[in-house]
Amino acid sequence: MAKRKLTKKKKIKKQVGRGVVYISATFNNTMITVTDEMGNALCWSSAGALGFKGSKKSTPFAAQQAVEDVMAKAKEYGIKEVGIKVQGPGGGRETAVKTVGAIDGIKVLWMKDVTPLPHNGCRPRKRRRV
Amino acid sequence: MPGIVVHPGEDFESAYRKFKRQVDRNLIVVEVRKRRFYEPPSERRKKEKIATRKKILRKLWMLRRYESRL
């Protein structure tokens, strides 16, 4: 039987100059996704994915690490200019935005808050009894 | 929806401060925190009662301070 030759092709990452950083800061975690201008996801990271577990996931430090991780990945796509979209009330919210601005080689073009707020929508869940 | 554009020549820090001021003014985080859990009418009434009591006590305290200065 003829053996199929396995040839590993080196994946060439498409080069995108400009992108959008989506920061989703929830009460329990901070997730960051970098997309191109059309909204196609390029790379992502989160505090949980970096090994922070439990309540450590929601800390500003974890958010900072996640941003640094995702921006290192994004640089492979040639990203130089970004816009930032933040949503959620989490603890990592401010640190995440600040860290994006502090990374050298990345220029922030705009910032926007896209937190969804209901116009008195569904009833929220009941309060935790702890 | 608050948002800013970082103008060419503007540094990130000042732009961020502007952005943060906008977000704080819109009380977005406060609103989300308030909506995290359902607040039943009984709890709402309780909060109102405490707020009214606080207001009255503050008024009384102001009045007493005013009288003591006379």
pLDDT mean over A106-126: 94
- Examine the pLDDT at B6 and tell me if it is beyond 80: yes
pLDDT at residue number A2: 66
Residues of A in contact with B23 (CB under 8 A): 113
Condensed to tens digits (0 to 9), the pLDDT of residues B22-35 reads: 999 999 999 999 99
Q: Mutate which of B7, B11, B25, B32 to disrupt the A interface (most A C-beta within 10 Å)?
A: B32
Higher-confidence position of B4 and A3: B4
Instruction: Give the pLDDT score at A117.
Output: 93
What's the CA gap between B22 and A113, in Å, rounded? 9
Check if the beta carbon of residue A93 is closer than 8 Å to that of residue A67: no
The answer to whether A113 contacts B3, with C-beta atoms less than 8 Å apart, is yes
The pair phi, psi for residue B65, each rounded to 5°, is -65, -40
> Which residues is A107 bridged to in the sheet?
A81
Residue by residue, DSSP assigns A64-103 as HHHHHHHHHHHHTTT--EEEEEEES--TTHHHHHHHHHHS
CA distance B64 to chain A (A): 40
Q: What is the pLDDT of residue A16?
A: 86
To the nearest 5 percent, what fractions of chain A are helix, strand and coil? Answer: 25, 25, 50
CA A16 vs. chain centroid, Å, equals: 17
Enter the pTM of the model: 0.85
d(CA A27, CA B51): 27
| pLDDT higher than 80, residue A4 | no
Interchain CB contact of B33 with A (< 8 Å): yes
Q: How confident is residue A1, by pLDDT bands cut at 50, 70 and 90?
A: low
Query: What percent of chain B is predicted at pLDDT more than 70?
Result: 100
What DSSP character marks residue A58? G
- CA distances, A8 to each of A2, A4, A73, A76, A110 (Å): 18, 12, 21, 20, 40
Residue A23: its pLDDT value, please?
Answer: 96
Report the gap between the CA of B41 and the closest CA in chain A (Å): 13
Q: Which of B13, B25, B28, B46 would you mutate first to test chain A, the one with the most A CBs within 10 A?
A: B28
Does B31 touch chain A if contact means CB atoms closer than 8 Å?
yes
- Give the residue carrying structure tokens 């996640």: A66
Please state, in angstroms and rounded to a whole number, the distance separating the CA atoms of residues A113 and B21. Answer: 12
CA atoms of A47 and A27, how far apart (whole Å): 12
| A120: closest CA of chain B, how far (Å) | 9
pLDDT > 90: what percent of chain A? 84
Asked if B41 is an interface residue toward chain A (Cβ–Cβ < 8 A), one would say no
* pLDDT-based confidence at residue B2 (cuts at 50, 70, 90): confident
Instruction: Say yes or no: A109 contacts chain B, CB-CB below 8 A.
Output: yes
